[in-house]
Amino acid sequence: MRTPFIAGNWKMNTDSQSAVELAKAVAAGSVDIAGKAVDVAVIPPFVYLQSVGQAVAGSGVALGSQDVYTESKGAFTGEISTSMLKDVGCEYVLCGHSERRHVIGETNELVNKKLSTALAAGLLPIFCVGELIEQRQGDKTEQVVTEQIKKGLAGVSAEDMEKVTLAYEPVWAIGTGLTATPDQAQQVHAFIRKLISELYNEQLAEKTRIQYGGSAKPGNAAELMGQPDVDGLLVGGASLKAEDFIGIINAAG
């Protein structure tokens, strides 16, 4: 059985006060379920990791980072290392989020380095993949996702793969209000699980959690989570309102 996993990616939102308030509200509102029936993580901007980590400490809500750099320390202006993330209590790290790929320009090779660095440090990657609208329209979804997964997981052992959560996030559904239908999500999730089975083995594929991301909200969470290969949600916009995010967590439970 795969424990459902709901993660809230706050992106470049909140401030020092609202971040802590949101974190406390999520922790309080999910006290009976987070870390038990459902794994839950909040993923604030770097500068609020520490205060948000303190706000959720002792609750079932885990802390995640939106990114990480590939070097351990030194002259890398603006970057954040795995040890810094662990120092402030991070367990999870997003690797290859579509905004990192398509806005900042991260390649599959860089995503692979970040994911490998995170694993080597004992952080748990949430590895994001997904196609652009023109790729879906051109019937290239499986091809794009296959390339992202093969390149992103290059050199990752089966043992390490057990620590990876995948997130399928069709880029056209992120922040647009357009959600993949449960059928569309299920199709790609099943495809990804089959690919993991081919790259590793069936047992590992069965254990691997695959989140869906892209305009997930309380109103569609249960239906998406009802799909056999959808094991959780990576939530952007709806994770910024405690009530909505808690609604999604409850729907997953």
Of 61, 235, 242, 252, the one binding ligand PGA by CB under 6 A:
235
Closest CA to 94 of 251, 247, 236: 236
- Contact between 14 and ligand PGA by CB under 6 A: the answer reads no
- Classified as helix, coil or strand, 51 is helix
Give the Cα separation of 10 and 19 in Å (integer): 9
* DSSP run (H or E) holding 201: none
Query: Could you tell me if 33 and 2 are in contact, meaning their C-beta atoms sit under 8 angstroms apart?
Result: no
Query: Could you tell me if 106 and 134 are in contact, meaning their C-beta atoms sit under 8 angstroms apart?
Result: no
- Contact between 218 and ligand PGA by CB under 6 A: the answer reads no
Of 22, 174, 192, 224, the one binding ligand PGA by CB under 6 A:
174
Question: Taking contact as CB under 6 A, which single stretch among the options 136-144, 151-159, 167-175, 181-189 is the one that binds ligand PGA?
Answer: 167-175
Of 138, 175, 219, 226, the one binding ligand PGA by CB under 6 A:
175
Question: Taking contact as CB under 6 A, which single stretch among the options 47-55, 117-125, 187-195, 230-238 is the one that binds ligand PGA?
Answer: 230-238
Of 4, 5, 6, 9, the one binding ligand PGA by CB under 6 A:
9
Active site residues: 97, 169
Q: How far is the CB of 165 from ligand PGA (least distance, A)?
A: 12
Of 4, 29, 237, 247, the one binding ligand PGA by CB under 6 A:
237
Of 169, 229, 231, 244, the one binding ligand PGA by CB under 6 A:
169
Choice between 200 and 252, CB closer to ligand PGA: 252
- Contact between 64 and ligand PGA by CB under 6 A: the answer reads no
Give the Cα separation of 219 and 40 in Å (integer): 18
DSSP sequence for 219-238: HHHHHHHTSTT--EEEESGG
Q: How far is the CB of 74 from ligand PGA (least distance, A)?
A: 30
- Contact between 214 and ligand PGA by CB under 6 A: the answer reads yes
Q: Each residue of 155-190: b (16+ CB within 10 Å) or e?
A: ebeeebbeebbbbbbbbbbbeeeebbebebbbbbbe
φ and ψ at residue 243, rounded to 5 degrees: -60, -45
Q: How far is the CB of 83 from ligand PGA (least distance, A)?
A: 25
